[in-house]
Structure 1
Amino acid sequence: MSDKTESISYLQAIAISVGAIIGWGAYVMPGDLFLPQSQLLGSSVAIIIGTLAIYMVARAYINLLTQTPENESGGIYWIEKYLNRKHAYVYGWGVAIGYISIVALNISAVALLLRYLLPSSLQIGYLYTIAGWEVYASEVFLCSAAIILFSYINLKGVRVGAKIQLYIALFMILSVSALFFASLWATPTTQAFLPTDMQSSSITSLAWLPILAVMPWAYVGFETTPQISKAISDSKTKTKSIILISLVAGVLFYFLINYFTALNMNFDYQAIKDSNWATGEGIDNRIGSIGIWLLSIAMIGSILSGINGFILSSVKLLESMGDSSLLPSIFTDKNHRFSKTKTVMLIALVCLFSPWLGRNYLLDIVSMASLGITVGFAYVTTADLINERKKKQAGLLNYLSVLISIIFISLLLLPFSPAALSLNAYILLGFFIILGAIGYKRIIPVNEGNSLQ
């Protein structure tokens, strides 16, 4: 068990989970994917179906957490216990890809926010244009500074990061709530609060499937709970409420931001599609500069909580892999023990590349992150099914959670799926798979006999 100075409270654990769910995507995806793809009705249905599907998966996490020893974290422990070390390594590497991708995504959102808040004269040092996005040295510098800052915070200890996360989450919740009510208040009396034509074809055409496919990425924050469970000072029985609270908070935030983005853009879906940032443009047009600053506070809180929460959770996940001797030597010290300093520095090094890629590759990184997370879902739901079968208590819901995980993976991998990975996403994924395979070959044969089984 971690020592007391490294423990975190129940509220801090909730803040980490909720903050990890409500990242930059809640403010960008309504304009980039949700509303252009399937309008308000279709995207709302996709969010509801996706949330219910994620809840079915989350049941497996809750069930396994209640049976996990106090001195163990979830994830790696479960897969190694109910499957084997090889699968534990694949699970850990897949989820780590997802976590680190989300840190990189939140970093790249800093550049978007800077462009909306600051005059163009502060875009200093034009470097190049990539996929239609101009990259400036000033933005690369500020994004890199954010990575370095939160890497330093996490080097100070999990408790420091958790305290900061709690304050950030409170600011974020208050800001989004204020934006929602301000949007309603500022709506002209001549405008309806819902579109006159809800266009049911946005549901029947299955145009919402790409939205459903990214729901694992949207709700991955709850998956951080088992990674930090060993550090939670309260009983592990409370992890159930942590996961449920984070899921409820997630669906409320996604609904609210998706709705007021459509409302403030007058339900003009073509204008939403053509906008560089529909949520920000709508707030600016409807509420003005006060609204933009409120949105900025909310988005800064979400970006920072996403960066902080996923760096923290990535470190705890990799620490669990280190405890099971599943990490390459690059993550360990001279005594072959897990090195937090080296791990945080390596995570930061990978994420420092993201500001150089521009913004227009974000959806590709989202897809790659979603695949890594869904692989994790499949492993955990399978571990839960094996556990329940051993106790002869397996029911329909256990099988259904495994099936849902497989469906999520299929939506991303099947070439005819509207949510299939792009070529760029496959290239990024291939790079990480090669790195993982190199580590696998160096670790697994040496330690094959150390399985928990």
Structure 2
Amino acid sequence: MAETQTTLKKTIKPSQAWALALGAILGWGAFVLPALRFLPTAGPLASCIGFALGGIMLLFVAMSYGDMIGKYPVAGGEFVFAYVGFGPTAAFICGWALALGYICIIALNASALALLFRFLLPGVFEVGYLYTIVGWDVYAGELAMLVAILVGCGWINYRGADLVGKIQVFLAIALVGGVFALFAGTTMHETSSLSNLFPLYAEGRSPMASIMAIVAIAPWLYVGFDTIPQAAEEFDFPHEMATKLMVTAIICGVVLYSMVTLAVAGLMPYKELLALDVPWATGHVAHISLGKAGSVILAIAVSAAIFTGINGFFIASSRLLFSIGRARILPAWFGDIHPQHGTPHKSIVFVTLLTIIAPFFGREVLNWVVDMSAVGTVIGYLFTCLAAYKVAVAFRSEETTSKKIIFAAIGSVSSIICILLLTVPGSPGSIGTESWVALVLWTLLGAFFYKMKMSEFKGLDLKTQRSLMMGGVDLPVFFKK
């Protein structure tokens, strides 16, 4: 009887959805990348301008997502939106492009805990050396810690989205509070000065090239707002609120990225900071400006960022697999729903199993796959914006349709720009050779899987397809079968 249930339990509140998005957007990178990438490749001012421009580009994408959620409030996000606009093949491309990336982002966030503990508690978990893979030492102690954490996160998600949402709100508050404390501590420190922010742009690069170096990685920086459409079926509030939640999450992401970067750059001349032999510049700045309390505050903020990222992408990946399974493109058991908790429990177990395997490959290999997944993410953006354009044109009678058409068009152009920035050789955001190899292998595997599975689905009549895609809800589509 429980297996006949086809829709997920509605438990997610607005604050919980917003916290899911913000936590997935910010993640560990906001605290690690200022000294590793933002300041060396762009400089303080160019970084902040790049954050803002990248955020603006994705605001238009988010508005198209909001329009689609309002009309298609079901799990699956881009997978369903691509089907609505362009049919089964486009849906498969989107789903396949996103699935591996979402899961690897979970594992990469978890591995960031290993980095954090190596800084805060050196040697505690670095026991039982096993092997080195692409420069990353793998220890049994760290693997045991990561497996325990990932199993715990999987169990929390198994128990229900409402529990995850409540935890996510608490973690988001800790994350935002930590960023504000770090920013306040550095700006009020006696050595803090605007002169420390010079040069404002990266040396050896023009201001425009410095800014574009940050804009180019905007798809990676702000990936996470699309956890909201993946969970749309579980909203316990009007779906029209989704646009505001995504937009405000992206804007907050812009502000918080900028605050951390300026905090790191403003305590001392940032060129001197980058030249220091310290394992983690952000941690060094927190300790100087706030003492031991600063290290504790930063550890709490980074831990909150990591766990919000893990939970956000647990939601996104499991709901995506659930939607594909419900459509019978993946084995049907992916679409099963727990009779008590109302969660896609088998998809969650599958995601948990994959994520506990991933750390065995080392952090650098996970980085390659996550970089590759940025391309898949932007492909999802593009299909969603194009589908939103087709839907808006079809609903011309609505008063706001002209605005929606314009936003969808701008979002589509923004998505194409992001794709070019990620794939054109020589672009400041172009993915590396290893990521290209991973992308080709994943594409070939997808082509094989498509040939094996999609002919059956495409052979179904349109009404049956729509029912499987949307959990029995009969909603219009805009492609010719």
Alpha-carbon distance between aligned partners in 1 of 2:350 and 2:116, rounded to the nearest angstrom:
26
In 2, Cα distance between equivalents of 1:192 and 1:119: 34
Q: Are residues 450 and 107 of structure 1, via their aligned partners in 2, closer, same or farther at CA, if it must alter by over 3 Å? A: farther
Displacement of 1:2 in angstroms is 7.7
Do the aligned partners of residues 72 and 301 (structure 1) sit closer, same or farther apart at CA in structure 2, a change above 3 Å counting?
closer
Between the aligned partners of 2:75 and 2:137, the Cα distance in structure 1 is 46
SS of residue paired to 2:456: coil
Q: 1:22 aligns with which of 21, 26, 29?
A: 26
User: Which of 194-203 and 134-143 deviates more?
Assistant: 194-203
Question: 1:128 maps to which residue?
Answer: 131
Matched, 1:442 2:452: yes
Amino acid of the structure 2 residue aligned with 1:166: V
**In 2, distance between residues paired with 1:330 and 1:72?**
16
Counterpart position of 1:309: 312
2:230 equivalent to 1:211: no
CA distance in 1, matches of 2:290, 2:369: 32
Q: TM-score, normalised by structure 1?
A: 0.90
Q: Deviations over 1:206-242 (max 9, x none)?
A: 1443422221121122111111111110111111221
Shift of 1:419: 2.1
Compute the TM-score of the two structures, normalised by the length of structure 2.
0.85
Matched, 1:427 2:431: no
Q: 2:61 aligns with which of 57, 68, 75?
A: 57
Asked if the contact 1:220/1:373 (under 8 Å) is kept, the reply is yes
Q: CA deviation at 1:332?
A: 5.8
Deviates more, 1:34-43 or 1:197-206: 197-206
**How far is 1:30 from its partner?**
1.4
Deviation per CA, 1:264-314: give whole Å up to 9, x if none. 353126726965422122222333321111000001011011101110121
Distance 1:273 1:36 in 2: 13
Give the secondary-structure state (helix, strand or coil) at the position aligned to 2:130: strand
Say yes or no: does 1:146 pair with 2:156: no
The residue type equivalent to 1:413 in the other structure is T
For structure 2, the 5+ residue unaligned runs are 337-341, 467-476
Identity of aligned residues (%): 30
User: What RMSD over aligned residues (CA atoms) do the two structures have, in Å?
Assistant: 2.7
Q: Distance in 1 between matches of 2:286 and 2:107?
A: 26
Listed one character per residue, the Cα deviations across residues 32-78 of structure 1 (whole Å, up to 9, x for unaligned) are: 2111111112212211110111112112112222223x566643332
Which runs of 5 or more structure 1 residues have no equivalent in the other structure? none
Instruction: Name the SS of the counterpart of 2:137 in structure 1.
Output: strand
2:28–2:305 CA contact under 8 A, matched in 1: yes
Q: Counterpart of 1:250?
A: 253
- After TM superposition, the structure 1 = structure 2 runs for residues 147-296 of structure 1, keeping only pairs within 5 Å, are 147-188=150-191, 191-192=193-194, 194-199=196-201, 202-204=205-207, 206-264=209-267, 266-268=269-271, 271=274, 275-296=278-299
* Secondary structure of 2:270 counterpart: coil
SS at the partner of 2:27? coil
Alignment partners' CA distance in 2, 1:188 and 1:416: 38
2:46 to 39, 42, 51: 42
Query: 426-435 or 19-28: which moved more?
Result: 426-435
CA distance in 2, matches of 1:87, 1:171: 39
Q: Work out the CA distance in 2 between the residues paired with 1:375 and 1:273.
A: 40
Amino acid at match of 2:436: Y
Seen in structure 2, the aligned counterparts of structure 1 residues 406 and 269 have a Cα distance that, compared at 3 Å, is farther
SS in structure 1 of the partner of residue 418 of structure 2:
helix
Is the 2:55–2:218 contact (alpha carbons within 8 Å) kept by the matching residues of 1?
A: yes
Contact 2:160–2:343 (8 Å) recurs in 1: no
May I ask how many residue pairs the two structures share in their alignment? 448
Name the CA shift for 1:430/1:298 in 2 (closer, same or farther; >3 Å). same
- Counterpart of 2:26 in structure 1: which amino acid? I
* Cα 1:141–1:431 shift into 2, 3 Å: farther
Q: CA deviation at 1:414?
A: 1.6
Range moving further from structure 2, 343-352 or 55-64: 343-352
Specify the code of the residue in structure 1 equivalent to 2:375: L
Q: 1:106 to 1:72 in 2, by over 3 A?
A: closer
